[in-house]
Amino acid sequence: MTPDTSNSLHLLVVDDDLRIRNMLARYFENEGYRVSCAGDGRDMRLSMKQTDFDAILLDLSLPGGQDGLDLAREIRMQSDVPIMMLTGRDDVVDRIVGLEIGADDYIAKPFHLREVHARLKSILRRRSVVSSAPVEPQQEQTVCFDGWTLNITRRVLQDPDGQTVELTTGEFDMLAVFVTHAGRVLTREQLMDLTRGRQLEAFDRAVDAQIVRLRRKIEADAKRPQLVKSVRGVGYVFTGTVSRT
């Protein structure tokens, strides 16, 4: 077994292909993870009722009337657990939809196990940095904009009425980047790099989809955004009035 702090992390592999489930389970167990497997949505729900997982590797094509996109949407309604979509179809539309509903990453089959692991570690690293950092009142970073309050340290967003607004990991990271770079035009590549913590492929529409989802939650009218504005041919700019407390 490879020495690794990942031995405390528990993964759920959801795939109807027994060969792929076993392959992923063996590989990640050898890397020090705990791994549970599910062959369909029903088994996935049962597993999630019994265990809190650190990440889910979710196949796109599944039996039982619900595919991976349906299940990812269902997961996001109750949990912010990182989701990596696995699929045999390298379809741009499927990828956009997967990212739009809250998947953290998307990789097409056939994949290299080391690449899957590298991407998973990047997702988990971001979560680990937040959860392991000591939180002291004097160290908390809180930013206000147009009546909204964003506690970057605790990863909590409150609307002008003081109500907490739930954000996925990707949505929060995107908003945090915008408020800390307010007034600065950011390209899609810069947004990818700043929110993912690593250089991804130049997949512009992934950023666009994430911003569409974020606008639905923070804009009075998502079709006429006043906070996150598009800059034609360049990228996006956050135009809210930001103050730190």
Render pLDDT for 81-138 as a digit per residue (tens, 0 to 9). 888 888 876 555 556 666 666 777 888 888 899 999 998 988 877 665 544 444 444 4
The span from the CA of 100 to the CA of 140, in Å, is 30
Render pLDDT for 150-171 as a digit per residue (tens, 0 to 9). 998 888 999 999 999 998 878 8
| Topology match between the domains 5-132 and 137-244 | no
CATH top-level class of 137-244: mainly alpha
Residues in the chain: 245
Residue 219 three-state SS: coil
Q: Where are the domains of the chain?
A: 5-132, 137-244
Alpha-carbon 221 to chain mean position: 24
Query: Vertex 48, ends 47 and 51: CA angle to 5°?
Result: 85
Q: Quote the strand ranges of 105-177, DSSP E.
A: 105-108, 142-145, 148-151, 156-158, 164-165
5-132: CATH number: 3.40.50.2300
Q: In the prediction, which pLDDT does 197 show? A: 45
The pTM is what?
Answer: 0.56
Widest Cα–Cα separation across the chain? 53
Which strands sit side by side in the sheet containing 186-187, from one edge to the other? 186-187, 235-238, 228-231
Please state whether the peptide bond connecting residue 110 to the residue before it is cis, i.e. omega within 30 degrees of 0.
yes
